[in-house]
Chains A and B, each alone.
Chain A
Amino acid sequence: MSIILNHVSHIYSEGTADEVRALDDVSLEIADGEFLGLIGHTGSGKSTLVQHMNALLKPTSGQVLYNGEDIWAKGSDKARIRSKVGLVFQYPEYQLFETDVFTDVCFGPKNLGLSRVEAEARAYEALERMNFPKERWYMSPFDLSGGQKRRVAIAGVLAMKPEVLILDEPTAGLDPYGRRELLDMLKGLQRDEGLTVVLISHCMDDVAGYADRAVVMEKGKVFMNGTPAEVFFRHRELEEIGLGAPSVTYIMEKLAAAGFDVKTDVMNVEDAAKEIRGCLRI
């Protein structure tokens, strides 16, 4: 039980004409070590939701608990919570500012009050874990390619040694190879190091392929919550709110409609191929 949101609501510009209820009575639990996919279209409240998880936004009502403690209780240490729950914003490369990559990654650990040696040790480890090529460690971050900048930015959050890593659309704008590489790396962090990962994504294929659990947000509420198989099984409802299922699911549905005796709740290419071969008896 690492993060618990208890009836959390958030209203922007409360009491003015522009009042927006971005979160509406959201209750959600994120378990230690899970890989959670957070789905919802633009404006569904998912970005507002994750900013509550590391105390960047204060709920208008309701509570956020991290390991059992209320993060907005009097005297709670928000800096510590932000270091334990790392948040990587969309297009995180825009937060880089130091003269070289290594110093930029040190920024987070230094803010935690660690000694220089310790901060550098953490930056070293984080860049290694992100598989960032050594010959570029002392280059200006502004001279890197888009994909490399993004890795540096993620390393900057990893260097704070978070227990939970939240990423808002980390693959936006990357090419297919870069996307897969990054997602594999995140999966590795979760599997090998026990990190809890929360992935905000528009891409149903990514959620189906990587997440243990999928949460769908719609109009500030939790619309669905379950394993990817459970969630995508109800893809008709998802379509009604402008989302959908992984591409493979649709292919299998068309096959079934064309008279092939295949299961349609399949979410990846390997399972789909197996299913079709079974049906063709090959």
Chain B
Amino acid sequence: MFIETKNLVFEYIERDEEGNPTGVKRAVDDVSLQVKKGEFIAILGHNGSGKSTLAKQLNALLYPTEGSVFIDGMDSAEDENVIPIRQKVGMVFQNPDNQIIGTVVEEDVAFGPENLGVPTDEIRQRVDESLKVLGMYDLRLHSPNHLSGGQKQRVAIAGVVAMHPTCIILDESTAMLDPGGRAEVIRAARALNDVEEITVILITHYMDEIIYANRVFVMNEGKVVMQGSPEEVFSNVETLRALRLDLPVVTQLAESLRESGVKIPSGILTTERLIEELKKCR
């Protein structure tokens, strides 16, 4: 098992303006989950459901209050595991501007390997490779300030890929992008999963991005309340609505047909599947 959390709890102290503690917030509440190498996982949940906090637990940016997190067998609570864990589980954040450190694209991609103490020749090799994988090689000498949102996020992903991770977490990395940029990022994530066999954990609000996942976790109030294949999860229409979540448009259409008496199964996620089922009704 590559990622394993056991009864993971994370609490932080809420403070008022003067810094006096006002209460304890349980952001992650008793989460036990497992992720295998090479999986494509999606984590869903409305704003404030604890999904980003969970993600930060998985690469030792935060540590468990109770329970434990194991990455490739390493306990994240042990200090000497922190850097190896962060090397294995890379993270791409939401705001493209606030995660690019270099003033030139290739220098930014080199930042991770430089921190790991990779020899100079190999850094060059890794930087060129990962920029090519992300289709950003031609822009390697550009300033990040002149790139589009989707391109900036691809630079950020290249920066993680250059660290040779086993897993990449995309923490709402598409939330601030336009549809074109979102498509670029999702395409890149799928390619990394398919071709490079990198485990991908995709945190998103956009339901249409989830259909590519092997497994979906749905979070609410710090707990994992549903998990399963996208079809299984999207069959529970009522529960999803109660959790303030949406359905992909095809699924909405299929549900609306089903409710009005058309005999098709629930959990339809693609138009092709819908057509197939509707053909049976004719």
Partner-B contacts on A (CB < 8 A): 41-42, 140, 143, 145-147, 172-178, 202-203, 205, 242-244, 246-248, 250-251, 254-255, 258, 260, 269-270, 272-273, 276-277, 280, 282
Contact B149 A42 (CB under 8 A): yes
**Cβ contact within 8 Å between B278 and A280:** yes
Q: At the interface, yes or no: B61 with Cβ under 8 Å from chain A?
A: no
How far apart are the CA atoms of A56 and B147 in the complex, in Å? Answer: 26
> Which residue from chain A places its CB closest to the CB of B259 in the assembled complex?
A273
Stretch at the interface among B101-109, B189-197, B242-250: B242-250
By DSSP majority rule, is chain A's interface helix, strand, loop, or mixed?
Answer: helix
B118 within 8 A of A: no
The distance from the CB of B205 to the nearest CB of chain A, in whole angstroms, is 5
Most chain B C-beta atoms within 10 Å of own C-beta, residue among A42, A172, A246: A42
Q: How far is the CB of B179 from chain A (nearest CB, A)?
A: 6
A-B residue pairs, 9 tightest by C-beta: A176-B246, A177-B244, A247-B249, A273-B256, A175-B46, A202-B178, A258-B275, A175-B205, A254-B271
**Does any Cβ of A come within 8 Å of B257's Cβ?**
yes
Asked whether, in the complex, the Cβ of B249 is within 8 Å of the Cβ of A177, the reply is no
In the complex, the answer to whether B246 meets A251 with C-beta atoms within 8 Å is no
Assuming the A-B contacts A41-B180, A251-B250, are A269 and B48 also in contact, with contact meaning beta carbons closer than 8 angstroms in the complex? Answer: no
Contact B245 A177 (CB under 8 A): yes
A79 vs B199: C-alpha distance when bound (angstroms)? 54
Q: In the assembly, what is the distance between CA of A255 and CA of B282, in Å?
A: 13
From the candidates B176, B244, B256, B272, name the one contacting A175 in the complex (CB within 8 A): B244
**Would you call A277 and B176 a contact (CB within 8 A)?**
no
* Chain A to chain B contacts (Cβ below 8 Å), 29 pairs: A42-B149, A42-B181, A172-B175, A173-B175, A174-B205, A176-B46, A176-B245, A177-B46, A177-B245, A177-B246, A178-B47, A203-B179, A205-B249, A242-B180, A244-B179, A246-B249, A247-B250, A248-B249, A251-B253, A255-B278, A258-B279, A269-B249, A269-B252, A269-B256, A272-B253, A273-B256, A277-B257, A280-B278, A282-B261
Cα A157 to Cα B257 with chains together (Å): 41
Residues in A whose Cβ lies below 8 Å from that of B172: 173
Task: Report if A280-B281 is in contact (Cβ < 8 Å); known contacts: A41-B178, A273-B256, A273-B260.
Answer: yes
Using known A-B contacts A140-B17, A251-B249, A269-B253, determine if residue A176 contacts B149 with beta carbons closer than 8 Å.
no
B72 at the interface (CB under 8 A from A): no
- Whether the pair A248, B246 counts as a contact (CB closer than 8 A) is no
CB of B65 closer than 8 Å to a CB of A: no
CB-contact partner of A42 in B148, B260, B271, B281, under 8 A: B148
Which residues of B, 259-282, contact A by the 8 Å Cβ criterion? 260-262, 271-272, 274-275, 278-279, 281-282
Bound-state CA distance A203–B47 (Å) is: 19
Measured between beta carbons, the chain B residues less than 8 angstroms from A177 are: 46, 244-246
